Structure formats: structure tokens, C-alpha cells
Structure 1
Amino acid sequence: MSEALTNTPASLLVNAEQLAAHPEWRVFDCRHDLQNTEYGRQAYARGHIPGALFLHLDEDLSGTANGRNGRHPLPEPAVFAQRMADCGVDASTQVVAYDNEGGIFASRLWWLLRWLGHDKVAVLDGGLAGWKRSKRALEENLPTVAPARFTPHAQGMTVDAGQVLDDLQSPRMLILDARSPERFRGENETLDPVGGHIPGAVNRFYFDNLDDDGCYFKPAAELCSEFMALLGARQAAQVVQQCGSGVTACHNLLAMELAGLSGSKLYPGSWSEWCADPARPVARG
């Protein structure tokens, strides 16, 4: 049985030293580029953390997009559970996810597993850059793993477009938008056909969760102070996290958990789903 981390805020991140000390942990390389979707697979083939398996954002960490459900809809629980089982993950497996993009894609895997009831999952703080800074080697070998049994237990961690629309003017909900300030304002939109944001949303650029080098997460106390300034009198459970397609929003979800602010929910379709229906209101600026 794999030794797993205790499920506390301190266990949500691991560093390179911890990961290297636990070769039995199941590691996943989640590197991706939204503009070049083959980048992650190619980069993985050139070198990855020893023992790591590759997961593709579009193929493994998302379901089928139909033009109305966002660019990266959630995968079907049974399909994703089978993918995890094929990768040797069961209820006792400690999973560690990494990427080379500040943790945005690794955070998606972290959130998906927790969504299906698997709390033994952490993100490698610093990602591949942090691993390289610690002077640790990469490998090109493709690991083989024995399949396991992964039973999903979906948690109530999401809201849909209808729920967001119903509470749009309600103080019960605070929407945090993880996109860049420019995209939030509706400027330089290159990924979605409509620019702007959900009315009432507050911008919390995911990159602000990282240190000045954009590598490691900020200390928990600093994150807590920054998020509390946005929440005001609201509780974390009143927060709805969104972004362009439900990916970088997971970075804010992880950051809030690191800050001890648990319970916020994900709007998986996010802006790409919201703006697909012209009847839904749009704000700019």
C-alpha cells in the first residue's frame, strides 16, 4: 500500500524533495498549451519526472465539448474513473500532479480527483521548474503500471449556469474569475468568441497566487489575506470559481484551500459556456 499524505492544507502541495523520497506515489505530468495542444505530449516524450504518466487536458481531463458546455467540460465520472484505474490509481494511492505552467493544469487534475472523492492528491509546488531547480533528473522511459480499481464518489462541488444566473444579483454568491485582467475586461480575447465577464464577478488572476518568479505558491497566510480582502463578510462556501473553461479556476480553488478557506465551488463551463448563450448578460470593463 502506498504511503499517503495526511489530508490537511499542508498536504495539498509537495516539494521536489518529498516527491523524490516517495517513488511509490503515482505522478502525473499535465503539461499543456491551449494554442498548441500537442506540446504537452511532445514535451513529456522528451523528458519527464521519473515514473510520471502523461494526462492530456483535452483527452483525459475534459469531456466532450458540444459548443454549448464550454471548451473543457468535465469528463464523465465513470470515464475519468476508468482512466485513473488504468493508470493504477485506487483508494489508497497518493497522487501528485505537476506541469510547467504555474500549476494550472496540475490543479485541474487535483480538483477532478477531489471531485470524485479521492483526497489523496497533491500538486508539486514549483512544477517541473522546481524539480529542475533542485537538480533532479528527468527520464524518457515510459513507465508501465498495473491497473487498479477506482470507484468514484462524486461530491457536490460544482454549480451550473442556471444556478449562477439565478443568484446573479444575490449577496449569497461571489464569483471569482481567474482569467487575466485584460480578458476579464473583454480586451484581447483570443480564446472565446465574446469578450467580457459575468456581471458582478471579481477578477482574481490565478497568477497572483504565485511568487514573484511565477513558480511557487505564496505562503498560506499571504494567500489568506488576499482572498479575505475579496470575500469581505462572505464565507468561502459562497464563492463560485470560474475562468475561461473551468481550468485556471482550479488554481484559485487550490489557493483558497491552501489558505484554509475551504468550500468554494467550481462553475465548470465558465466564460466559454456562459457567452455561448446570447441571452445571458455580459459585462465589460
Structure 2
Amino acid sequence: MKNWPLLIETNYLAESLHDPKLLILDTSSAANYAEHHIPGAVHIAPAELQSGVKPAVGKLPSIEALNALFTKVGLTPDKHVIAYDDEGGGWAGRLIWTLDVIGHHNYSYLDGGLHAWLHAGHPTEKVANHPAPTKQDITIDSLPIAEIEDFISLLDNSQLAIWDARSPEEYRGEKVLAQRGGHIPGAVNLDWLELIDRDNQMRLKDLTELQTRLNELGITADKTVITHCQTHHRSGLSYLLMKILGYPHIKGYHGSWGEWGNSETTPIEIGDQAQSSANTP
């Protein structure tokens, strides 16, 4: 089996599409999967990657639910997972974060996902794939997971960066999707949509330019970076981007604003983006 990088292009996958060690996981909408998917791809409904329990619906599913999910899709330790979606990487990134959480680190992200695959004219199929179930005994690695109690006392620590991947309107508190609006004190806002090149089949923008932007915001690789959105779906892409850029200390706050903004005790800031140390005169 060839050496698979984390970020792959469509031609790279097309050349090895029938490798028996691949497990292609499609986190597109059910409608798109039914209409056209990569041959051999197994569908994971995005909702299966979240607990769905209010108010923090984006939290990790239970161990039982994770065991059932990865039993159904046929995951085994020797499988190399190809993750893709139909939206530019949010759900695929959430899947990759989930794989990190369960200790499966053999994976790649298909840049541009379904959009790029279709644009390249590669083959698709409509028939759903149902692999043989595999026995799972999942344990949780807490390292990629951020919980409130882990970092609420560290908000003024210069070695911690919090990347809020929501829209600027949500960040400033103008658009409120929880009991309270605003943002975590000290968090830096970079909308996940700013990472996607919508004029280039939903691929990631130039990685060098994205790294420069992150550095300007103080989201640098020497820090522990926690990323979140409303449900840790959009921040699946910010987590994935940092993986691709080689950030060594990253976490996904799966409670996200659904938890923070619905708590009565968490501190909140309203208004414009806080200045990072990199931008402070």
C-alpha cells in the first residue's frame, strides 16, 4: 500500500480506488450520497458524529453509539480512511477529529471532496455500500478533546489560543444561537468559510496564505490551540487545517457555543474581535 499523505487530490485517490486497505467514508448529505458518491464509499450521516443532546448537541456521541457506528462502517486498525464531504471539509474534519478521539490515525482528507471529484470527471455510483460489520471496543483518547473545565481558568494564558470558527456576526453577538451571544474571552475569530476556495471546487485555499493569516491572528503552532463553533461541525475544518499545517497541540471543543453560550456561569465578551498579541502595537 502506498504512503498516503493527509491531504490528497482526486487523481491520487482515483489511481488507487480499489485498494482493499482503503475505507472511503462519505459524510455528505443523504441526498448527495444517493445521487452520486465515490465508488466503494460508505455513508456516515453527519448527525451520527454528534450526540444530538441539547443544549450542546455537538458533543461526542456515547461509547455505545461510536461502537455501533464504526462497527457498521467496517473500520479495522489496518484500514486507511479517506474522509470527504460535499461542503468543503467541515463534516470530514469532524470525522477526522472523531478518528483521533478513538485512536485511529490512518486517514487522509480528499481536498474539495465530492465537488472536486465530480469536476474531475471521475466515476461515481448510486448504490449504497454496506461493508461487513467489524467488532469494536472503542476507548476515548482525551488529548484531542477540550472541555470547559480544562481551559476556563487559562483564558489569559499567552500559550493558549482559542479559534472561533463561527461567522463574525455570531462572534460579535449580533446573531445569537444560544441563550447568550458573544464569544469566549480572548478568542480569535476566523470564519471557517474563509478557509475554502469556493471558486476552485471547494478546495482549501493556498496553505501558505492560510498559515500567514493564522500567524497574523496569533493562532501559531507554538501554542495549544482550541477550536470551536456552535456544534464543533464548522470547526471540524479548522481542526483539520491545523492538522495539515502540522500544529502539534490542537483540540476540538466539542461542547462549543451550544454549551458555553447556554451556561449561566461562563464569561462572555461582546463586540469586535480581541486583538491578538501578534497584532498589538
Confirm or deny a common fold (TM above 0.5). yes
Structure 2 residue corresponding to 1:185, chosen from 172, 181, 200: 172
**What fraction of aligned residue pairs are identical, expressed as a percent?**
30
What residue is the counterpart of 1:15 in the other structure? 9
Does the 8 Å contact 2:91/2:233 carry over to 1?
yes
What residue is the counterpart of 2:147 in the other structure? 160
Does the 8 Å contact 1:4/1:93 carry over to 2?
no
What residue is the counterpart of 2:115 in the other structure? 129
CA distance in 2 between counterparts of 1:46 and 1:185 reads: 39
What residue is the counterpart of 2:159 in the other structure? 172
Structure 1 residue corresponding to 2:42, chosen from 29, 43, 53: 53
What residue is the counterpart of 1:30 in the other structure? 27
CA distance in 2 between counterparts of 1:143 and 1:233 reads: 41
Deviation at 1:221, TM superposition (A): 2.7
> Residue 124 and residue 275 in structure 1: after superposition, are their counterparts in 2 closer, same or farther (change >3 A)?
same
Does the 8 Å contact 1:4/1:94 carry over to 2?
no
TM-score (norm 2): 0.87
> Residue 29 and residue 264 in structure 1: after superposition, are their counterparts in 2 closer, same or farther (change >3 A)?
same
> Residue 246 and residue 126 in structure 1: after superposition, are their counterparts in 2 closer, same or farther (change >3 A)?
same
TM-score (norm 1): 0.85
Deviation at 1:82, TM superposition (A): 3.4
Q: What secondary structure sits across from 1:89 in the alignment?
A: coil
Deviation at 1:134, TM superposition (A): 0.4
Is 1:235 matched up with 2:232? Answer: no
Q: What secondary structure sits across from 1:106 in the alignment?
A: helix
What residue is the counterpart of 1:201 in the other structure? 187
- Aligned Cα RMSD in Å? 2.1
What is the aligned length? 266
Does the 8 Å contact 1:85/1:150 carry over to 2?
yes
Deviations 1:210-230, CA, capped at 9 Å, x for gaps:
236261113333332222222
Does the 8 Å contact 2:161/2:219 carry over to 1?
no
> Residue 91 and residue 150 in structure 1: after superposition, are their counterparts in 2 closer, same or farther (change >3 A)?
farther
CA distance in 2 between counterparts of 1:263 and 1:234 reads: 8
Identify unmatched segments of 5+ residues in structure 1. 32-39
CA distance in 2 between counterparts of 1:4 and 1:149 reads: 26
> Residue 276 and residue 144 in structure 1: after superposition, are their counterparts in 2 closer, same or farther (change >3 A)?
same
1:21-100 alignment runs, 5 A limit: 21-23=16-18, 24=20, 25-31=22-28, 40-58=29-47, 60-67=48-55, 70-100=56-86
Deviation at 1:234, TM superposition (A): 7.0
Structure 1 residue corresponding to 2:132, chosen from 126, 146, 150: 146
| 270-279 or 142-151, which deviates more | 142-151
CA distance in 1 between counterparts of 2:199 and 2:154 reads: 37
Deviation at 1:270, TM superposition (A): 0.8
